Amino acid sequence: MIRKATIQDVKTIYGLLQIFGKQGDLLPRPLTRIYDHLRDFWVYEDEAEMKVRGCCALQFCWEDLAEVRSLAVHPEVQRAGIGEKLVMAAIEEAISYDIKKLFTLTYRPDFFSRFGFFRIDRTDLPLKIWGDCLLCVKFPDCDETAMMRELNGGMSLPETPLSDQLPE
């Protein structure tokens, strides 16, 4: 089940982000930042186990620009379409707010390209987004791929689940 995060999810979200932060796959977030941005997060809750197993955030930057960030799915349940569902929830939310452009900074450009994101030069992004980058251990030698998706009043999402399109 995909739902908006609650205060009870903060420590689980933090734990998920730490897993991938330690691997160098995303920027880990301090616990206080997750509390500060909790309303940005969507989570996937395994209804059978009643456990949060994935998260993704949509952070607004400007009136027409938002970032898809902090996408993490527990290693035990990866490749089950959870990441896809979380990103789709973020895209649908962006459309509902009439956001025109979404961007992401990622080590998984092939994953995001399936959602209509395309590569851009990081310098094309507004300076405002670089605040978190200053805290990153890789700054100023960032090796993430910057990607953008134009929404322009909404864009239809795939009819066939992306997980059904993946090779086994």
Residue 29 sits in a domain of what CATH number? Answer: 3.40.630.30
6-15, 16-25, 106-115 — which is least confidently predicted? Answer: 16-25
Q: When comparing pLDDT for 157 and 148, which is higher?
A: 148
Q: Is residue 9 part of a domain?
A: yes
pLDDT of amino acid 47: 82
Question: What confidence category does residue 21 fall into, taking pLDDT thresholds of 50, 70 and 90?
Answer: confident
Q: Is residue 94 part of a domain?
A: yes
pLDDT of amino acid 27: 78
Question: What confidence category does residue 145 fall into, taking pLDDT thresholds of 50, 70 and 90?
Answer: confident
Q: Is residue 28 part of a domain?
A: yes
Residues forming beta bridges with residue 105, ordered by sequence position: 146
Domain extent at residue 87: 2-155
Q: Is residue 166 part of a domain?
A: no
- Using CA atoms, how far apart are residues 99 and 115, in angstroms rounded to an integer? 16
pLDDT of amino acid 88: 96
Number of domains in the chain: 1
pTM of the predicted protein model: 0.84
Q: What is the pLDDT of residues 39-77, one digit of tens each?
A: 999 999 988 888 999 999 999 988 899 999 999 999 998
Q: What is the pLDDT of residues 118-127, one digit of tens each?
A: 999 887 877 6
pLDDT of amino acid 159: 44
Q: Is residue 168 part of a domain?
A: no
- Using CA atoms, how far apart are residues 23 and 26, in angstroms rounded to an integer? 8
Q: Is residue 167 part of a domain?
A: no
Q: Is residue 139 part of a domain?
A: yes
Task: Judge residue 56's burial from the number of C-beta atoms within 10 Å of its C-beta, 0-12 exposed, 13-18 middle, 19 or more buried.
Answer: buried
Q: Is residue 161 part of a domain?
A: no
